[in-house]
Homo-oligomer: A and B are copies of this chain.
Amino acid sequence: MEALADLVASLPAGVVATDPATVAGYRFDWARDTAAGTPVAVVRAEDAAQVQTAVRWAATHGVPVVPRGAGSGLSGGASAVDGGIVLSLERMRAIEVDADCQVAVVEPGALNAEVKAAVREQGLWYPPDPSSFEICSIGGNVATNAGGLCCVKYGVTTDYVLGLDVVLADGTLVTLGGKRIKDVAGLSLVKLFVGSEGTLGIVTRAILRLVPLPLPPATLVASFPSVVAAAEAVVAVRRTLRPSMMELMDRASINAVEDFSPRGLDRSAGALLVVQSDAPGDARTAEVGAVEAACTAAGATEVVVTDDPAEGEMFVAARRAAFPAVEARGALLLEDVGVAVPLLPDLLAAVTEIGVRHGVEIPTVAHAGDGNTHPIIVYTAGDADSERRARAAFDDVLRAAIRLGGTITGEHGVGRTKKAALPEMLGDDVMALTRRIKDALDPDGILNPGAVL
């Protein structure tokens, strides 16, 4: 491919890789999408100008561009495309903290954990905290409008993005927003690019809002006889309180975590809730007390409270370990369905029923306080019947969420693995509206083709 030689020549040595071994390492993200293609090259850009060069080349030659952060996406949003290039931002990871403005100016390849660590040195905090925060990049967080455990009180990625530099489909670099906190001049373009999964442009810099560090939290762990009882406690708590975390693990995920790395969780519990409060002083005592009362009223069989942050973090780490723990059990199909909080018991009941009906194991964890659940469908790779049942269950879970007026993805993104269900959720008119915006910004469809749309 002669054109490819032009790309290689137009960028510094080492930026463009075309050797099969390197390229193979960029085919998949964590969704392990079996339909992922093989790219002709990987561009590991070092700055925005190199991103522009690569995109201009792709635009000229009509080559698909799949942007990629840390590759930790769970929906195949960074699955490579045959004949395309993967544009990796992993080398662009500068972090500049402006403590006076309470912002961090961050390149997209910086990991969420790296940003958190850099701002913590100045007594500041970047709240969004996907479970994968130690391995996921800010660019990917922006692309998916990532959530996490603290969202129930502190909101999601879009709430913290004040500005973006974006390379558009024709290679133009635009600077949107800035360090100012309030700004309504023109359309809300920053917000449009957040969550656009690389289909409208490629983020090369983000200005992230920071807040003062929260107090070390108190942690409450409650055991319930069933997920539905636990979900009912969540609904009750959310009516009047704003805990800083409210996570759920069902029995299957508890046992998967205990099998994987024992932490002394109650294997016999139908579900655990892990709740944190970072309210100050007396308010914390009141909040934790109210949560405990709600849990007991909903049927909790045991409630443990600790003010020791390290002990609390142990429970949270157990919750975060659910993905790797379940992954050790087989191949996975990851769900990310969400509903309005009062419908959480219905959604969890539906997931249980679907698992039974298809004969598949579906360990489930949830950012319960937000109504956002992660049923994890386990199957045996290479066993066609197992995979068929898993896929049927996957589709049924998506449909259950849609039927309850919910979403097929609360924080992971549509990517490629949930794309088929998007029209059913959004309807023809919203799909057409989406398509008009996509066509306006990427008329030749070179940016992450096959994702979302």
Given the interface pairs A159-B159, A370-B182, the reply to whether A340 lies near B101 with Cβ below 8 Å is: yes
CB distance from A216 to the nearest CB of B (A): 14
CA distance A147 to B100 in the complex (A): 22
Of B180, B342, B414, which one neighbours A406 at CB under 8 angstroms?
A: B180
Instruction: Evaluate contact between A187 and B340: CB separation under 8 angstroms.
Output: no
Instruction: Evaluate contact between A185 and B101: CB separation under 8 angstroms.
Output: no
Instruction: Evaluate contact between A240 and B123: CB separation under 8 angstroms.
Output: yes
CA distance A183 to B338 in the complex (A): 7
CB distance from A289 to the nearest CB of B (A): 14
CB distance from A286 to the nearest CB of B (A): 8
Q: Does A441 contact B (CB under 8 A)?
A: yes
Of B191, B212, B235, B429, which one neighbours A188 at CB under 8 angstroms?
A: B191
Task: Report B-chain residues with C-beta under 8 Å of the C-beta of A420.
Answer: none
Closest to A412 in B: B184
Of B183, B235, B429, B437, which one neighbours A100 at CB under 8 angstroms?
A: B235
Instruction: Evaluate contact between A211 and B425: CB separation under 8 angstroms.
Output: no
Task: Tell me the A183-221 residues at the B interface (CB within 8 Å).
Answer: 183-189, 191-192, 194-196, 199-200, 211-212
Given the interface pairs A281-B283, A429-B172, A430-B176, the reply to whether A188 lies near B194 with Cβ below 8 Å is: yes
Give the total of A residues in contact with B, Cβ under 8 Å: 88
Q: Does A410 contact B (CB under 8 A)?
A: yes
Task: Tell me the A346-389 residues at the B interface (CB within 8 Å).
Answer: 367, 370-372
Instruction: Evaluate contact between B426 and A185: CB separation under 8 angstroms.
Output: yes
Q: Does A156 contact B (CB under 8 A)?
A: yes
Given the interface pairs A185-B422, A191-B188, A407-B182, the reply to whether A433 lies near B168 with Cβ below 8 Å is: yes
Task: Report B-chain residues with C-beta under 8 Å of the C-beta of A239.
Answer: 99-100, 102
The 0/1 profile, CB within 8 Å of B marked 1, for residues 431-445 of chain A is: 101101111110000
CA distance A371 to B189 in the complex (A): 21
CB distance from A228 to the nearest CB of B (A): 16
Task: Report B-chain residues with C-beta under 8 Å of the C-beta of A440.
Answer: 436-437, 439-440
Q: Does A411 contact B (CB under 8 A)?
A: yes
CB distance from A162 to the nearest CB of B (A): 9
Q: Does A87 contact B (CB under 8 A)?
A: no
Task: Report B-chain residues with C-beta under 8 Å of the C-beta of A411.
Answer: 182, 184
Q: Does A339 contact B (CB under 8 A)?
A: yes
Count this chain's copies in the assembly.
2
CB distance from A33 to the nearest CB of B (A): 18
Task: Report B-chain residues with C-beta under 8 Å of the C-beta of A211.
Answer: 242
Instruction: Evaluate contact between A212 and B182: CB separation under 8 angstroms.
Output: no
Task: Tell me the A63-118 residues at the B interface (CB within 8 Å).
Answer: 99-103
Task: Report B-chain residues with C-beta under 8 Å of the C-beta of A144.
Answer: 184
CA distance A102 to B370 in the complex (A): 11
Task: Report B-chain residues with C-beta under 8 Å of the C-beta of A438.
Answer: 187
Task: Report B-chain residues with C-beta under 8 Å of the C-beta of A196.
Answer: 187-188
CB distance from A441 to the nearest CB of B (A): 6
Q: Does A151 contact B (CB under 8 A)?
A: yes
Instruction: Evaluate contact between A372 and B182: CB separation under 8 angstroms.
Output: yes
CA distance A241 to B192 in the complex (A): 30
Instruction: Evaluate contact between A182 and B156: CB separation under 8 angstroms.
Output: yes
Of B184, B241, B437, which one neighbours A187 at CB under 8 angstroms?
A: B437
Most buried by B among A211, A414, A426, A441: A426
Instruction: Evaluate contact between A145 and B367: CB separation under 8 angstroms.
Output: no
Given the interface pairs A101-B341, A437-B437, the reply to whether A414 lies near B367 with Cβ below 8 Å is: no
Q: Does A274 contact B (CB under 8 A)?
A: no
Instruction: Evaluate contact between B186 and A414: CB separation under 8 angstroms.
Output: yes
Given contacts A158-B191, A437-B441, 16 further A-B contacts (CB under 8 A): A102-B341, A151-B182, A155-B159, A176-B430, A179-B340, A180-B371, A181-B338, A184-B407, A184-B411, A185-B425, A185-B426, A186-B431, A212-B240, A280-B281, A281-B281, A433-B441
Residues of A within 8 A of B (CB): 99-103, 123, 144-145, 147, 151, 155-156, 158-159, 168, 172-176, 178-189, 191-192, 194-196, 199-200, 211-212, 235, 238-242, 279-283, 338-342, 367, 370-372, 405-414, 418, 422, 425-427, 429-431, 433-434, 436-441, 452
Q: Which 6 A-B pairs give the minimum distances between C-beta atoms?
A: A280-B283, A191-B191, A440-B440, A179-B340, A182-B410, A281-B282
